Structure 1
C-alpha cells in the first residue's frame, strides 16, 4: 500500500509501512522512518555534506542486501546530488552520482527505500560539490574471535591517550555491531595523510601488545585480538554514520559514547550497557545532546 506524505514542504510517497524489517524485534518500516525523522537533528550535521552510500535491505535484515553508491537516479529532484570520482571498485564508470542527505524529507525518502544503514566517507564536498581533503580520522576497532567490546574499550582508551598526546581531540561511538570506532577532527596536507597516520598508530599499538592487537586484516591473525582497522581512512571507503541503524537482528544503532563509559567498560563493565536500540539513543540525545559533535572541537593538523 502506498501513501503520500508531506514533510517540511516536500511531498513524497511511502509504501509498505507495516512491513517488518527486523523480525526478531518486530521492527517495521514505519518505525525505521519514525526513528530517522526523530534523530534527524543530530544525524544530519554528520552526513549533510558527505556523499552517502546506502545499504538497502528491501526484504528486511533476513533477506538479501546490497550497497548502492550510484544512488542519485532514484532520488526526487529536491534531493541534492553530487558527481564524484568513482572509486576503483566501481568498474566501468569514471564518476558516480551520489546523494547528500541534508534535510528530514531526504531521510524519509531513503528510509522508505529500506536504506537501513547510512555510510559516509571521512571527507566532505563544498557548496559546488567538489570533494575536499579529509576532515575526520577514524580507527575502527573490530574484535576478533574470543574478544568483544570490552577488549575494544581497552584499545580505545590507549588510542585516546595517543591521539591526545598528538594534539587531537577524539570522540568515540559504538559500531552498532560488535566493536567501537574512534574518530578525531583533523586537518591534513593530502588525502593519504590520514591513512598513513592511522596505520602508524595501529602498528605502534600492535608492537606494544602483539598478543592483544593486530593491524593486519588476515583472518588467521585475528583470534583473541582486536583489529585496529586503519584502512577506512582511504578516501574511496566509507564508515557507518553516527546514529545510523545497523542491519542487525535487534535493530541496534551506532551510538556515540562518553569516554567515561568506555573506561567503565574497560574496567569490566557489562557489554550490554553499550548495546543501544532506537529508543535508548533518542533518550541519550535528550540527556546528553550530541556526544559526537566535533564542530566546536579543536581541529588539529595531523602529525607527520
Structure 2
C-alpha cells in the first residue's frame, strides 16, 4: 500500500520508499526524499521562478533515463506550471517547483532538476552566466579547478563575481549573477571567455565539443547559456551509481583540490556542509550582487 503523507497541507502519495535507487551504496528512495527535505531551504530558492526540466531515473542509473520538459502524467493540479515559449511548440507549459510539497512530489518521481539561466517571467533574459567545466580523461576535476581559478580572475576583471559548485558528475560549474541580459548576448560573452581560456591555458582547455580534442583537457562548455539549454540545479542529486549531489564549494576548496575525491559529495555529506556554510550560492540570489554584462 502506498503511504500517504501530508506536506504543507498537500496530500502526497510517496511510493516504493524501500526501493534501492543508487546501487553502489544501497541508497533507497526514502533516503533520497529525506535528503531533499533536509536540503529544501537552500535548494528551493535556486528553483524559484524557473521552469524545470527533469531527468527521470525511477529504476536507478542503470535503468531507463528519460529527459522531459513537459509536466509528467499525473501532475497534481496544485503544482504550478508556467507557459514557456519554444520555437517548435507554441503554448508549452513546464513545472515550477517553489515549495516543499512540490519538491517532495517531484523527488518522488526520482529526478535530476535542471533549470535555464532565466526565469519564467522573463524568457531568454538571463540573470546569471554559467560555464560548465567538463574534463576529458585522464583529466579530472583537479584540472577543472585550475581552469576555474583562471576564469574567476578573468570574470573579476569584468566586474563579475564567480561562484563554484561540483557538477555532481566529473567537473565543475561556475556561475556569475547578472543584471538581466538577452541570452544571446550572454552566450556570446561566455564563448569569448572559453576561447580566451583556451588561448591562455594552452594544452589544458578546449572550447569546442569535438571529442577528439578533449582527452586530457577541460572542455569549457559555454553552450548552456543559450535560452533553450538547461544546467543541473544546485543541490540536485545526479543519476549516478552513488548518490552524488551537485554541491556548492568554497574557493579555498577549489584551490586546494589535489584529488577528485576531495570534491565528491554524497547526500550524507550535505547536512554538515549546510550547517557549516549555509548556501554558498546565496549571493547569486541577491540582486545587489548582480554584475553588468560587459
User: Matched residues in 2 for 1:52 and 1:9: separation?
Assistant: 23
Distance 1:87 1:144 in 2: 33
Gap regions ≥5 residues in structure 2: none
| Distance (Å, rounded) in 2 between the aligned partners of 1:50 and 1:120 | 6
Distance 1:223 1:87, change over 3 A: farther
Match of 2:37 in 1: 37
Contact kept, 8 Å, 2:124 with 2:227, in 1: the verdict is no
For the 8 Å contact 2:187–2:226, the answer to whether it is kept is yes
Among 252, 255, 268, which residue is 1:263 paired with? 255
282-291 vs 73-82, greater mean Cα deviation: 73-82
Tell me the CA shift for residue 257 of structure 1. 0.5
1:155-214 Cα offsets, whole Å, 9 max, x none, are 000000001110011110000110001000012442211100000000011112231100
Cα deviation, 1:65-94, whole Å, max 9, x if unaligned, reads: 100101155321111100101255xxxx22
Cα distance in 2, alignment partners of residues 295 and 97 from structure 1? 24
Query: 2:143 corresponds to which residue?
Result: 151
Residue equivalent to 2:81: 81
8 A Cα contact 1:145 1:225, kept in partner: yes
Q: Is 1:295 matched with 2:291?
A: no
Q: Aligned partners of 1:270, 1:208: CA distance in 2, in Å?
A: 24
Q: Which of 174, 178, 182 lines up with 2:166 in the alignment?
A: 174
> TM-score, normalized by length of structure 1?
0.93
Aligned residue for 2:84, secondary structure, equals strand
Which of 270, 273, 276 is the matching residue for 1:281? 270
8 Å CA contact 2:127, 2:181 repeated in 1: no
In 1, distance between residues paired with 2:163 and 2:67? 27
CA RMSD of aligned residues (A): 1.3
- Assess if the C-alpha contact under 8 Å between 2:124 and 2:182 holds in 1: no
Q: Hey, what does 1:125 align to over in structure 2?
A: 120
- What is the distance in 2 between the residues matched to 1:12 and 1:110? 11
For 1:142 and 1:110, the matched residues in 2 are separated by 27
Number of residue pairs matched? Answer: 292
- Quick one: structure 1 residues 72 and 250, their matched pair in 2 at CA, closer, same or farther if it must change by over 3 Å? closer
- The corresponding residue for 1:20 is 20
Q: Which runs of structure 2 are paired with 1:186-265 in the superposition (5 Å)?
A: 186-265=178-257
Q: Name the CA shift for 1:100/1:212 in 2 (closer, same or farther; >3 Å).
A: same
In 2, are the aligned partners of 1:186 and 1:300 still within 8 Å (CA)? Answer: yes
Which sections of structure 1, spanning at least 5 residues, go unmatched? none
